[in-house]
Amino acid sequence: MDVAGKKAVIFGGTSGIGLATGQRLVALGADVIAISRNPEKAGDVPAGITLKKCDVLDCDALQAVLLECAPYDILVSAATGGARAVGPFLEMDMDGYKASFDKLWGYANVVRFGVGHLPDDGCTVLVSGAPARKTKPGQVAIGSVGGAVEALVRAIAREVAPKRINIVSPGTIDTPMVAAQGEERATFYAKATASNIIPRAGTADEVAQGIIFVIQNDFVTGTTVDVDGGWLLS
């Protein structure tokens, strides 16, 4: 796909991986609509990116904003859906575990209501995470949700063909989702990535490169591209 002149809709597109993807698409000549629950928190965004507000768990609002944006060629969701439970499963608050699946429901809504507005040569990309296939202690909720997202994509890839759908799976990425600053932030990321083959946190832009790859490559569908610093091999 030559993305120049194409229109992209990115949920979770006002910060982190979603914003980095929008910036790369704009640089390649695409028009980008970035959608989030709180677009007013985005600050300055590059020219070529239009902001819209929508909660992916609100099906009526989601359908309305997708219809407003249509037609478009590229559909991306990096929306987290909200808070995610962490810690040992046997001690976990089950309401927190269930709430972690808001990411899955949000992705399912985006695909269900968004793919129909894509042309036959359009594509969808969802963002999973390395714990989907290698879950570290305390990541049962995150791993469960990521695994469900990846299974969803594999299951529906044939149904949506010839439109394409893929997953990009990041490892530990330095994004605004981590609130710590300064030395505390550096210590957190150093500890989290110490066993990786590449022992550092990735950047949102490095994940965005993976997303751009599966957008542009017309011979890739129903698959997962890892951008994880060697997480799966550590």
pLDDT tens for 75-85 read 999 987 777 88
Q: What percent of the chain has pLDDT over 70?
A: 97
Using CA atoms, how far residue 125 sits from 106, 119, 194, in Å, is 13, 15, 29
Q: What HEC string does the chain produce?
A: CCCCCCEEEEECCCCHHHHHHHHHHHHCCCEEEEEECCHHHHCCCCCCEEEEECCCCCHHHHHHHHHHHCCCCEEEECCCCCCCCCCCHHHCCHHHHHHHCHHHHHHHHHHHHHHHHCCCCCEEEEECCHHHCCCCCCCHHHHHHHHHHHHHHHHHHHHHCCCEEEEEEECCEECCCCCCCHHHHHHHHHHHCCCCCCCCCEEHHHHHHHHHHHHHCCCCCCCEEEECCCHHHC
Q: How far is CA 132 from CA 76, 98, 223, in A?
A: 19, 16, 13
At 231, phi and psi to the nearest 5?
-50, -45
* CATH 1.10.645.10 matches 7-233: no
Question: Is residue 179's pLDDT more than 70?
Answer: no
CA-CA-CA-CA dihedral for 188, 192, 194, 200, to nearest 10: -80
pTM, 2 dp: 0.92
Q: pLDDT tens digits, residue range 26-43?
A: 999 999 999 999 887 777
**Model confidence pLDDT, tens digit, residues 188-234:** 788 878 888 999 889 999 999 999 999 999 999 999 999 999 999 98
Buried b (16+ CB within 10 A) or exposed e, 202-222: bbbebbbebbbebbeeeeebb
